[in-house]
Amino acid sequence: MSRSFSSPPRLIMGEDALETAATQLPSLGTKVLIVTDPGIVAAGIHDQVHAILTDSGLPIDTFSEVVGNPDIATVEKADAARAAAGSDIVVAIGGGSSIDVAKSVAVIATNGGRIGDYEGVDRFSTPPLPVLVVPTTVGSGSEVTKGAVITDPDTHVKMVIVSDLMFARIAILDPRVVAGLPGRIAATTGMDALTHAIEAYVAKGANPVTDAINLGAIEIIGQNLVPASQGDPEALYQMLVASSMAGIGFHDAGLGAVHALANTLGGHFGIHHGTANALFLPYVMDFNLPAAPERFARIAQALGEDVAGLSAEDAARRASERVHRLAEETAVPRTLTELDIPEDAIPALAADALGQADLPGNPREASLQDLTDLYRRAL
Ligand SMILES: [Fe+2]
C-alpha cells in the first residue's frame, strides 16, 4: 500500500517570528480577522500579537468568542464577524479550538454553506482564505495539519474536515506566546502532542518520513514535558516546536484508538482533548504492544529509557511505564472518576468510539469489547 506525506505550511519559529510573519501579511490579503478565545484575551496574548501584526499596516478585527470543543454555531458566529469586517485573511491565536474555527471560517467564506457540508475528505473545491496560525498551547498540532475538528451539537460527534487545501499558509512558533502558559495547560496539551507522535509512529499509515519526525518529537517531549509543566520558558518553547513536529508527523500517518476514545469522551462530556488523551494513552499502548513490539521499544528509547539487553517485549513495556510516570509527574487527571464520568456511560461511549474516524489507523484491530475494556481500565 502506498503512503503519502504533505509538507506545508511554512513554519516561522524562534524569537521575532511574529515580526517576520507581520511583514508577509500584505502579500496575502487586505484585512485581517483574528479568531481567538476569551482566555487568550484575558492573558494579554491577543494584545501582544495584535500589536506586532499592526506593523503590517493592515486593518485588524477580532472575534474572541471561541469555546473549547467548538461547534457549528461557533464557526458561524466567527464567519458572521468575518463577513461584517470584510476580512480576507484569518489569523488564529490559540489552541486547537481557535485554530480549527479559523480554518473552518476560511473554508465557508469561499465555499458557502455550513461547515458540516464539508465533513470528510476533500469535500470542497474552492481554496479557503489564507490562514495564519499562532499556536498558544503545546499540543494540538492543528497549526500544521490539513484538517479541522468541529463538534456537531445534535449528535455530539466530532466531525473531521480534511483537505490538502486546508493547510494554514504560515504557522508562527514564537517563544513569547507560550512563555506564560499555565503548567496545567502545558501538561495536558503536551500530552496531546505526545499522543500524536506515539499513535502516528505505530499507526498503519506510518512511513519513513513521519517516523523520523515522530521519533524526534517523542525525544523532545520526553525531555521537556515535565519542566514545561513547571513553567520553564525554554522547555515550553521546545514543546511548542515538538508539538508542531508531531502535527506534521500524524496528519498523513494517521492516529489510532487513543484519539477514538478521547474524541468520543470530548464529544459526550466536553472533556479537554489533551486531558482525555492522557487518560487513555498508556492503556492503549499496552493494548497495541503485541502488534508492534519493536516500535514501542524504539519509543521507550526515544523517551530516554535504557533498554539495553532487554527483549523487544520488555523494552516495549518500558514505553507505557514511562508514559504513566510522565502523567504522574505532570499531575494530569488519571481516571474517568476524577472527571465525574459515570461507569454507566461506558457502553454508549464505546459504541460511538467504534465509529470514530481515527480508529481504523490503529495498528491492532479494536472491537467493541476492546474499547469497552479500555474505558474501564481508565475508570
Ligand atoms: Fe489530538
170 CA from centroid of ligand 1 (Å)? 20
CATH class of residue range 183-377: mainly alpha
27 CA from centroid of ligand 1 (Å)? 32
Residue 84: the pLDDT is: 98
310 CA from centroid of ligand 1 (Å)? 31
Residue 8: the pLDDT is: 83
311 CA from centroid of ligand 1 (Å)? 31
Residue 118: the pLDDT is: 97
Whether a cis peptide bond, with omega within 30° of 0, leads into 9 is: yes
Residue 127: the pLDDT is: 98
Kindly report the backbone phi and psi dihedral angles of residue 216, in degrees, each rounded to the nearest multiple of 5, phi listed first: -60, -45
32 CA from centroid of ligand 1 (Å)? 27
Strands, sheet with 157-162, edge to edge from the N-terminal-most edge strand = 120-121, 157-162, 147-152
Distances (CA, A) of 224 to 136, 213, 219, 283, 336: 16, 16, 9, 22, 26
CATH class of residue range 10-178: alpha beta
Question: Residue 197 pairs with which residues in a beta bridge?
Answer: none
Q: Calculate helix-pair angle for 312-330, 273-288, nearest 10 degrees.
A: 160
9 CA from centroid of ligand 1 (Å)? 19
369 CA from centroid of ligand 1 (Å)? 23
192 CA from centroid of ligand 1 (Å)? 5
140 CA from centroid of ligand 1 (Å)? 5
374 CA from centroid of ligand 1 (Å)? 18
Residue whose C-alpha cell reads 522547555 in the numeric block: 235
Distances (CA, A) of 207 to 166, 211, 243, 304, 365: 22, 6, 19, 23, 19
195 CA from centroid of ligand 1 (Å)? 7
130 CA from centroid of ligand 1 (Å)? 23
273 CA from centroid of ligand 1 (Å)? 7
30 CA from centroid of ligand 1 (Å)? 33
62 CA from centroid of ligand 1 (Å)? 26
274 CA from centroid of ligand 1 (Å)? 7
Residue 153: the pLDDT is: 87
279 CA from centroid of ligand 1 (Å)? 13
183-377: same fold as 10-178? no
Please give the model's pTM, rounded to 2 decimal places: 0.94
Residue 274: the pLDDT is: 95
Residue 1: the pLDDT is: 79
Residue 71: the pLDDT is: 94
- Chunked in runs of 10, what are the mean pLDDT values of the chain (379 residues)? 86 96 97 98 97 98 95 96 98 96 98 96 97 96 93 87 96 97 96 98 96 98 98 98 96 95 93 96 98 98 97 97 98 96 97 95 98 98
Residue 317: the pLDDT is: 98
CA-nearest of 34, 55, 228, 44 to 133 is 34
**Where are the chain's structural domains?**
10-178, 183-377
Residue 191: the pLDDT is: 98
26 CA from centroid of ligand 1 (Å)? 32
Residue 340, Ramachandran bin (φ over 0: left; ψ between -120 and 50: alpha; else beta):
left
152 CA from centroid of ligand 1 (Å)? 18
